[in-house]
Amino acid sequence: MELRKIAFGRPVKLLTLLLSSMIIGTASAAVYYTLVMEPRVTVTALTVKFVNGGDTPAGSTVNDAWCRLLLKSYPNATLTYDQAVNISNTDASNAHSIQLRHVSITPDGTAYVGGNFTSIKFYLLDHTGTQQTTFIYTNNGTHWSPPSDTGYYSIPANKEWIIKVETLSSPGATVNTVCDIEIAVDVQE
Amino acid sequence: MRAEEVSSELLPEFFALLATNLFLMLSLLTCLLDDRLPKAIPYMYQIAALMGYAHLLISREFTLAFGEYMRFWYCFIYLLVALANIVAVNIYFAVVKKQWDLAKVWSGTVTFPTIMVSMFFVSNYGYTSGAAFPLLFLQIGPVVSAIVMGISIWIFLSPDILRNFRKEVRRWN
């Protein structure tokens, strides 16, 4: 009789329910945690993207996520593309930050190419035309000096910024000499 | 172009988790008050909480099949059931058992805080997810709860007001 009283008494009942509650609560939280940590990838349209500028050279390809510009360089004369390509923040409510980052420049280390180019300068201008930063490649006759990352600049919502390019070759540059530059635009969302 | 993004959002299953915990809390509280309630009630709430766990498991397996809108509604309805049970216990104490003091304590310490917390999370979810459900109703909920809590605190701090009010009611009758 006493044993029965203890077995069905309130403290034992409460302890049983407490243990059961802890197990259910912990298991439920664990399931929710796995749901939160489950990665899901959804394809969405780019909010910051490349768009054609007023001076995008003919034959260039400008896609949302990448662009390939076919630029020219004149011997002993600076050629300026005022709007080589634009970067548009299509987000109507949020600003997004971007930076220019050097990836590669080829060929490098050959006097033939190096002697033909003096500098290739990229300027990042905001929507009012004010210069925000520069990104300049210079050549010492043999090697290119690639620029360091520009750091992040914030494009306001619904605004379009400009990338201006200036090219310059040495006075005795050989016609049809080519160099390829790959630049990344990092976007913080 | 490389994009970097860090974001965190409340999932609809959060409401199922919240409701599960509310059922567990109900189970323990009704166990403490078992001399005033039917003996089976705490166990029934344990089973209800266990159903919430099963609910979460099923939701995890069919996340993609159900879609966010449907997931929100079935989790929200489960939360409403949990809240309805809290209110039902409150009404049971007040109407069936005529234990006004216990009913008042229950409403002040369990019913309104849980309703307020639930409304807060639901309105927060609605704001961040842009969910299509009556937001006005959800915003009114916390306001009403806050007003009732405010009045309750006022009465608690000055009990004479309630006594005078009762006298007035008796005089009218």
pLDDT tens readout for residues B100-133: 888 888 988 899 889 888 888 887 787 766 555 5
Interchain CB contact of B118 with A (< 8 Å): no
Return the pLDDT at A127: 92
| Of residues A28, A34, A185, nearest to B1 (C-beta) | A185
Q: At what angle do helices B13-32 and B41-61 cross, to 10 degrees?
A: 170
Amino acid (one-letter) located at B40: A
Which amino acid would we find at residue A67?
Answer: C
Would you state the pLDDT for residue B131? 53
List the alpha helices (DSSP H) in A52-156.
Answer: 111-114
Distance in Å from the first CA to the final CA of chain B: 78
Position B152 scores a pLDDT of 75
Task: Tell me how far apart the alpha carbons of residues A145 and A151 are, in angstroms, rounded to a whole number.
Answer: 18
pLDDT (tens digit per residue) in A105-141: 888 776 666 678 899 999 999 999 999 999 999 988 8
Which residue has tokens 């608690």? Answer: B156
Rounded to whole angstroms, how far apart are CA atoms A65 and A140? 32
Q: State the Cα–Cα distance between residues A47 and A158, nearest whole angstrom.
A: 9
What are A133's strand-pairing partners?
Answer: A124
**Is residue A72 classed exposed, middle or buried when 0-12, 13-18 and 19+ CB atoms within 10 A define those classes?**
exposed
For residues B11 and B73, give the distance between their C-alpha atoms in angstroms, rounded to a whole number. Answer: 12
pLDDT at A60: 92
Local structure of A92: helix, strand or coil? coil
**Per-residue pLDDT tens for A68-83?**
999 999 999 999 999 9
Report the Cα B40 to chain-centroid distance in Å.
21
In total, chain B counts a number of residues equal to: 173
Distance CA A87, CA A70 (A): 17
- DSSP, collapsed to helix, strand or coil, labels residue B5 as coil
Contact between chains at B17 and A184 (C-beta distance less than 8 A): no
Q: Which of residues 68-87 of B touch A (CB under 8 A)?
A: none
Tokens of B41: 């009630």
The length of chain A, given as a count of residues: 189
- HSE on the CB side for B86, CA within 13 Å? 29
Q: Which amino acid is at A58?
A: A
How many other β-carbons are positioned within 10 Å of the β-carbon of residue B154?
A: 11
Of B78, B115, B111, the C-alpha closest to B92 is: B111
Confidence label for A6 from pLDDT (cuts 50, 70 and 90): low
Chain A window 28-67: which residues touch B at a Cβ cutoff of 8 Å?
A: 28-29, 31-32, 34-36, 38, 46, 48-50, 64-66
Can you give the residue ranges of every domain in chain B?
13-172
Tokens of residue B14, six digits? 């959060």
- Do B125 and B10 contact (CB within 8 A), yes or no? yes
Choose from A8, A18, A20, A28 for mutation: most chain B CBs within 10 A.
A28
Given this model, what pLDDT does residue B22 score?
Answer: 95
Angle CA(A8)–CA(A11)–CA(A12) in degrees, nearest 5?
A: 50
* 3-state secondary structure at position A85: strand
